[in-house]
Amino acid sequence: MGELALAIVGLPSVSFEKYYRNICNSILTSTHLKSLSNGQQLHAHVIKLGLQVIPLVSNYLINFYSKCQRPYDSSQIFHEIPFKSITSWSSVISTFAQNELPCVSLQFFRRMLKYGIVPDDHVFPSAMKSCAVLSRWDVGQSLHSLSMKLGLNVDVFVGSSIVDMCAKWAIHDARKVFNEMPDRNVVSWCGMIYGHICMGEDEEALRLFKQALMENLEVNDFTFSCVVRVCGNSTLLDLGKQIHGLCYKTSFDSSTFVCSSLISLYSKCGVIEGAYMVFDELQNVFKYFKQMEFVRIRPNFVTFVCVLLGCSRAGMVEKGHFYFKLMKDYGIKPRCQHYVCLVDLLARAGKLEEALSIIKEMPMQPTETVWGALLTGCRLHGNAEMAAFAADQAFKLGTVSPGMHVLLSNAYAAAGKYDEAAKARKMLKDRGVKKETGLSWVEEGNRIHTFTSGDRSHPKSVQIFQKLAELKEEVERAGYIADTSFVLKQVDDEEKKQQLAIIVKVMKNTRVCGDCHIWIKFVSKCTGRTLIMRDNNRFHHFEGGTCSCGDYW
């Protein structure tokens, strides 16, 4: 028997109530420490004394196993309780919601209603969270209606969970609930901010964050991570640095959520030194995947998405297979995101047949993103036949994004089949779908300057084009020859060269083409400057005529 349990046994003179409350406190201590061995010893002691019939003790044990990521042990304890209180139901529903088992959480919620137990303000937030994870907007609406009938929708915790759920699909409904709340907490504010981020409304998200600060809301680490994420997505480096400073002042800079967002911010802005600085300052978190178990961080499906994505970007096929198989050891079933990464890895490495076999073996229907990953590989390796097959499979899914048409067109062009490439572009036009306009932008102070191809609307366009002309002459003297095959429009070579030469911007919303990539390498070599570009796929760090991606992107 462990030291905690022995300490309890050594209290024979205390009253029975104080005795079992001491046990509860000891279980709570084990919960905070996430000490499975001590908690299990206390559990054994509880069973020997027959104290599991006391709801309070059982509830503490349910919570203990929940925090130790053993939800089914919590479920077993729940089933053994002879008289289940609303707190018991709340505990087990919360257990499965917190341990990424939302379906089971909602099953217990339905069972609770069947037994005639009226849910309270502790039950609703867990059920709402499960609906959000499952994207079950219909069930969420039913829960919202039930909370209104019970008069719990005005409760700050229930209301906040409703806002958090609605914001992911119906931001206007979330706004209505948010505005009607008599009191708001950090969860409701975070829900609104994150909801606008999901809708792509970054400016509104930042406005809400500023409003929250003006109302003296004590924002948490998730709030900071959300707004830092906005700065990273929009490459607002200066604003991101200011928020980083605020995180430091409020001691949230050591939060894993905030640090992850800060690393993403600096990486997306190409400031690798800043990303490493944040990474090196992390406390009590993993540095490498293999060390996670030593700091008691169990990798989840998101962790493996990141690892597989890293393998894809670096072209590490064997390691990609290793980590994909490793998920089973952690009881994680591969999701569509994992298959996308694996297919992307194999396709980029030229293993197109193997990538296609992986798609055919998927336990779920392949999505447009999966076929798009295969199409990207077909474009890189000039396999027009497989590209056409992948596109056909994607089109069978129904309406596809303009990017799918563009990928198919580019794949044909890479294989030298320009007639088919033109037909793919025409198909896009015939369906009335417009391709996203290619944009490039740079940040100057707190201003963002946006450009399109051939854009001369900027006040300093004369100086910009003059500088581009000088760079063009310099890189051509250094040996650069424009590869006009990357431009698919039917224009003469001189116009093609002009279009290619314009791409000397910092940020892009489209993937940088091969010729532009070569051109910027020459620019970095001729000017002796470090040039940083982020496209919609990754960032590129050009220095001395080479790129950080190793020409693999």
Tens digits of residue pLDDT in 430-449 = 665 555 566 666 656 556 66
Residue 349 per-residue DSSP state: T
Q: Which residues contact 100 (CB under 8 A, 6 or more apart)?
A: 133, 300
The alpha carbon of residue 328 and the mean position of all alpha carbons in its chain are separated, in whole angstroms, by 21
pLDDT of residue 400: 65
Can you read off the two tokens belonging to residue 260?
Answer: 């992850």
Q: How far apart are CA 1 and CA 41, in angstroms?
A: 6
Q: What is the mean pLDDT of residues 124-143?
A: 86
Query: Is the predicted pLDDT of residue 536 greater than 70, yes or no?
Result: no
Are the C-beta atoms of residues 168 and 140 closer than 8 Å to each other?
A: no
Query: Is the predicted pLDDT of residue 500 greater than 60, yes or no?
Result: no
Query: Is the predicted pLDDT of residue 522 greater than 90, yes or no?
Result: no
Q: What is the mean pLDDT of residues 488-492?
A: 44
Q: Which residue has the higher pLDDT, 427 or 488?
A: 427
pLDDT of residue 163: 86
pLDDT of residue 284: 37
If we measure between CA atoms, which residue out of 221, 240, 238, 222 comes closest to residue 230? Answer: 240
pLDDT of residue 273: 67
Query: How much is the pTM?
Result: 0.49
Can you read off the two tokens belonging to residue 288?
Answer: 């490498």
Query: Is the predicted pLDDT of residue 239 greater than 70, yes or no?
Result: yes
Q: How far apart are CA 194 and CA 487, in angstroms?
A: 38
Task: Please report which residue ranges of 36-170 form alpha helices under DSSP H.
Answer: 36-49, 55-67, 71-80, 86-98, 102-114, 123-134, 137-149, 156-166
Q: How far apart are CA 179 and CA 192, in angstroms?
A: 11
The pLDDT confidence band at residue 203, using thresholds 50, 70 and 90, is: confident
Q: With residue 533 as reference, give the H or E element that holds it.
A: strand 531-534
Torsion of CA 365, 368, 373, 377, to 10 degrees: 110
Query: Is the predicted pLDDT of residue 344 greater than 70, yes or no?
Result: yes
Weakest-pLDDT range from 23-27, 37-41, 265-269: 265-269
The pLDDT confidence band at residue 166, using thresholds 50, 70 and 90, is: confident
Are the C-beta atoms of residues 373 and 401 closer than 8 Å to each other?
A: no
Q: How far apart are CA 117 and CA 108, in angstroms?
A: 11
If we measure between CA atoms, which residue out of 353, 420, 368, 424 comes closest to residue 398? Answer: 368
Q: How far apart are CA 508 and CA 383, in angstroms?
A: 27
Among left, alpha and beta (phi > 0; psi -120 to 50; other), residue 417 is beta
Q: How far apart are CA 178 and CA 172, in angstroms?
A: 10
The percentage of the chain sitting over the pLDDT mark of 70, rounded to a whole number, equals 75
pLDDT of residue 474: 79
Query: Is the predicted pLDDT of residue 489 greater than 50, yes or no?
Result: no
Can you read off the two tokens belonging to residue 524?
Answer: 């970095």
| SS3 state of residue 447 | strand
β-bridge mates for residue 441, sequence order: 450, 507
544 exposed, middle or buried (CB, 10 Å; 0-12, 13-18, 19+)?
exposed
Are the C-beta atoms of residues 143 and 124 closer than 8 Å to each other?
A: yes
Of the CA atoms within 13 Å of residue 283, those in its CB half-sphere come to: 5
- Show the 3-state SS of 453-471: CCCCCCCCHHHHHHHHHHH
Angle, CA of 473, 479 and 485, to the nearest 5°: 90
Can you read off the two tokens belonging to residue 242?
Answer: 């200011």
Query: What distances in angstroms separate CA 188 from CA 154, 174, 195, 209, 221, one per listed residue?
Result: 12, 9, 10, 12, 14
Q: What is the mean pLDDT of residues 494-520?
A: 56
Q: How far apart are CA 490 and CA 131, in angstroms?
A: 51
Weakest-pLDDT range from 112-126, 200-214, 340-354, 391-405: 391-405
Are the C-beta atoms of residues 259 and 238 closer than 8 Å to each other?
A: no
Query: Is the predicted pLDDT of residue 381 greater than 70, yes or no?
Result: yes
Q: Kindly report the average pLDDT of the chain as a whole number.
A: 77
Q: How far apart are CA 472 and CA 507, in angstroms?
A: 20
If we measure between CA atoms, which residue out of 15, 29, 20 comes closest to residue 2? Answer: 29
Q: Which residue has the higher pLDDT, 178 or 468?
A: 178
CATH 1.25.40.10 in the chain, residues?
282-435
The pLDDT confidence band at residue 376, using thresholds 50, 70 and 90, is: confident
The pLDDT confidence band at residue 215, using thresholds 50, 70 and 90, is: confident
pLDDT of residue 151: 85
Give one DSSP letter per residue of 203-257, joined into a string.
HHHHHHHHHHHHTT----HHHHHHHHHHHHHTT-HHHHHHHHHHHHHTT-TT-HH
The pLDDT confidence band at residue 289, using thresholds 50, 70 and 90, is: low
Weakest-pLDDT range from 205-214, 291-300, 429-438, 452-461: 429-438
Sheet holding 546-547, edge to edge: 447-451, 440-444, 507-508, 531-534, 539-543, 546-547
The pLDDT confidence band at residue 93, using thresholds 50, 70 and 90, is: very high
CATH topology of domain 282-435: 1.25.40
Can you read off the two tokens belonging to residue 197?
Answer: 């981020």
The pLDDT confidence band at residue 465, using thresholds 50, 70 and 90, is: confident
Q: End-to-end CA distance of the chain, in Å?
A: 57
Can you read off the two tokens belonging to residue 357?
Answer: 């076999």
